[in-house]
Amino acid sequence: MSRKYFGTDGIRGRVGEGAVTAEFMLKLGWAAGKVFNQKGYNKILIGKDTRISGYMFESALEAGLSAAGVDVYLLGPMPTPGIAYLTRTFHAQAGIVISASHNPFEDNGIKFFSAQGTKLPDDVEAAIEAQLDEAMVTVSPDKLGKAKRIADAAGRYIEFCKSTFPNDYDLNGLKIVLDCAHGATYHIAPSVFTELGAEVVAIGAQPDGLNINKDVGSTSPAALQAAVLEHQADLGIAFDGDGDRVAMVDQQGHILDGDDLLYIIATDMQREDMLCGGVVGTLMSNYGLEKAFAELNIPFRRAKVGDRYVMAELKANDWRVGGENSGHIVCQHVQTTGDGIVSALQVMAAVARSGKSLSELLRPLNKLPQVLINVRLGQASAENVQKSAAVKAKIAEVTQALDGRGRLLLRPSGTEPLIRVMTEGEDRVEVTALAEGLAAIIEQEVAI
């Protein structure tokens, strides 16, 4: 369905440009308020990450919602999944997140949660977009919405996170480094893990509005690796700016990505007879993960890249666990959306139940070498390049070479003028040569 403003994960861009302006956010708040008010609803929550622009957009959305006659509950800095949880527990009609996730502070964005703590249905997003084209009219003064700040929002979410960890276990005796990316988990994650018994060393927990994701967090794990080794910690956990993604580091400083964490969670749930079906990955999930699940008789399906598609595949199969190698993991048995803290706690539950370290739990997983090359399209279209006879012939050649031992993935980027060429296989030299060969053919077609 075509969208003028909403992408696959809300609205995002550089502050002051396009739709990411105070003027647009005022109108967006009003438009959303009108749509929900027409349904007889009158309560919407707003939370944000730690970007300095969050203050401006929070105020603009609040004003717009009030002008539409909707009451606003302000959460302050709060991880995206925390906003989803509180939207449900406050029986609000929607939750609004002000965040650009793992992007730098210059960017910001908006996404919505439904009353159930899930992404808004397409028809509601379409109705909000349609309302944006209407002239903004304020309700009568006696119908204006009120605003209230929820003072104990952080405490409520901390207790929820702890409730997802098994009661029979704790984290006593473990030293854990937490990297909060100077983002929305800075005042949440250290309390959660400390109260569960761990000795916590926090880094990336001093947000100033300008330093979110800067050289810290799950997209910049070098700081966490160094801190784990420096403090001789048992492991490290890193979140992204809005707290819906997670990466981990073992005692030796090795990085565990989303595929690794998904393997640990799923195999622990299988041992505990809690898996109830299979696991959803994405087109980017490592082929070695797929093979490992096959050996354990765990069904595995691939969705398109994006948590929206992982969620859709989970619901279609009535399965519980899925995720992306980027660290966006969904544990539907405990949360309605991707949640970095909750996902990390599911990994820690596996550590506690097994008595094994992260590296020991991962030992059976043999991930295959993966090579990714981005080819810039210029003025050429991805569709025409992929239809080229030379490209088709090379794809057939690479596919045959990897048959049964690996795989090829060729896909256009959804956000940049690129075609991504990815190969996986048992021999890194071979898959590198195959990826480079196909990329070279694509580059020739682009140049024509």
380 and 446 Cβ atoms separated by less than 8 Å: yes
Q: Looking at this protein, which amino acid is placed at residue 143?
A: K
Q: Which of 53, 66, 99, 101 is catalytic?
A: 101
The neighbouring-strand residues paired with 376 are: 418
Tell me whether strands 43-48 and 147-149 are parallel, antiparallel or unpaired.
unpaired
**Catalytic: 101?**
yes
310 and 304 Cβ atoms separated by less than 8 Å: no
Pairing outcome for strands 235-239 and 246-249: antiparallel
Q: Do 352 and 166 touch, CB atoms closer than 8 A?
A: yes
- Residue in the block written with tokens 């969050």: 54
Residues with catalytic annotation? 101
